[in-house]
Amino acid sequence: MNTRLATALSVIILASGILTHAEDGYFLSMHQKGQLISYGRIQDDSGIWYDIWLCPGYVPPAKYSWQNVKASGSDFAEYAKEVKYKKLGSQSKSCLKWAFKSCLKGFIIQGSPKACKEYFSKAAERTQKRLFGWWLAYPWAFFESLVDTAFRTVVGTAGSASGVTAALAIVPSYHALDSAVCGIWHLCVQGTVVPVVGIAWNTVVTPPLTIFGQKPSPERVDGFWVVQLGKADSAVAAGYRSGELSAEDIANLARWVKAISAEAGQIRTEIRKAEAWRNAEQQRINREFKEKTASLRKKETDQVSFRIDQIRNSNELPQYECSRFVLDNTQIEQLKAHLRKEGMNDAAIQECVNLLYTYPPSKLYTEQDKTKPAQRDASNYDQKIDPLRQGIRVIEKSDSIDPVLK
């Protein structure tokens, strides 16, 4: 009995001390306690509001719940709006158009004959010129046509089937469920579970803090645990809501906008003019840069080609020949070491190496017929032919594949 009495007296004394300190300005006043419990925010004597991270309050979760309940109603209301079904029809139509026009008609029906015509046209040209191995031109064209047609048939059919499936099943299913899923989420999770958890947590954690928590001040703000609210946030905390303004407020707002416009409007116009000037200058510089570099590249090609012709037609040709040269690291490193011994610096050596990729010594051996430029690099084994490589190339060059993939 004596223990219980002592405990009760201790609580009374502690509460008296807290109330005394509250009146002295250390602990929260009764009004501030109510603010913390209700809103999770506290207003000090100077009118500044502070948001307490730990305390959600009761009013904010209730507002959050009501907002999501209204959002849920809007989600379910979409089923009664015409725009939902117009969107469904438009997307299904696009899928059907892609399935039949792009895949079936464009890629298979029109693409295959066009490709076959191209292959056999090349075969006829090679046969007419009696090129080396010309008797294989038509069998090779038949092989290319077969691979091309098989690829188009498989891919086009699969694409057409997927488009029809999307139009008749996937798109309608999505539009049948999306609003309901969003509505259930807003109603059950964000409108019920989240607010209930917040209210329960507020019931557990906030009452002790109202007893022992100190009055906030700007010096006791860390920007996370306790946040000092600006005027706009303070207005929300004080209960101001969005909506139509009063005649006085709208007049003040208009006066404010005109005052700012008088100071900043002309400057903003000058900024837009400066941006337009910058864009025009960038376009001019880019255009001049392209023209200049194109001219320099042509000049380089002409000068180097002229020098190559001089070497090719002179007695100095053996001094420049290197028939075993290939662009591999071993030979490049050998060349760098040799040029370094001759006194060239690393930057000049690297420039010489870069030029080798454009002008290898093989340029000396054959003079290109400018009317019939080479269509492949004869020194590159990857550009040689076999059925597998050509089959892959036929698939890669299918000119009607783009509409299917778009």
Integer Cα distance of 147 and 398 in angstroms: 11
> How confident is the model over 250-267, as pLDDT tens digits?
888 888 888 888 888 889
DSSP state of 53: T
Supply the Cα-derived Rg of the chain in whole angstroms. Answer: 40
Burial of 378 (0-12, 13-18, 19+ CB in 10 A): exposed
**The model's pTM:** 0.51
CB 95 within 8 A of CB 163: yes
Considering its fold, how many domains does the chain have in total?
4
Co-location of 120 and 196 in the same domain: yes
> Are 300 and 325 within one domain?
no
pLDDT of 83 strictly over 50: yes
Residues 6+ apart with CB under 8 A from 302: none
Cα dihedral 161/165/166/169 (nearest 10): 180
What is the structure's pLDDT at 321? 80
Looking at the domain assignment, is residue 115 inside a domain?
Answer: yes
Assigned domain for 405 exists? no
Sole residue written with tokens 């099943």: 169
How are the residues of the chain apportioned to helix, strand and coil, as percentages rounded to the nearest 5? Answer: 75, 5, 20
pLDDT band at 405 (very low <50, low <70, confident <90, very high): very low
Query: What is the rounded distance in angstroms from the CA atom of residue 283 to the CA atom of residue 119?
Result: 43
Instruction: For residue 352, give both structure tokens.
Output: 């010489």
Element at 32 (helix H, strand E): helix 30-39
Do residues 51 and 76 share a domain? no
Residue 332 is predicted with a pLDDT of 86
* 367 closest CA partner among 306, 294, 300: 306
Residue 382, phi then psi, degrees to nearest 5: -65, -20
Domain that holds residue 326: 321-365
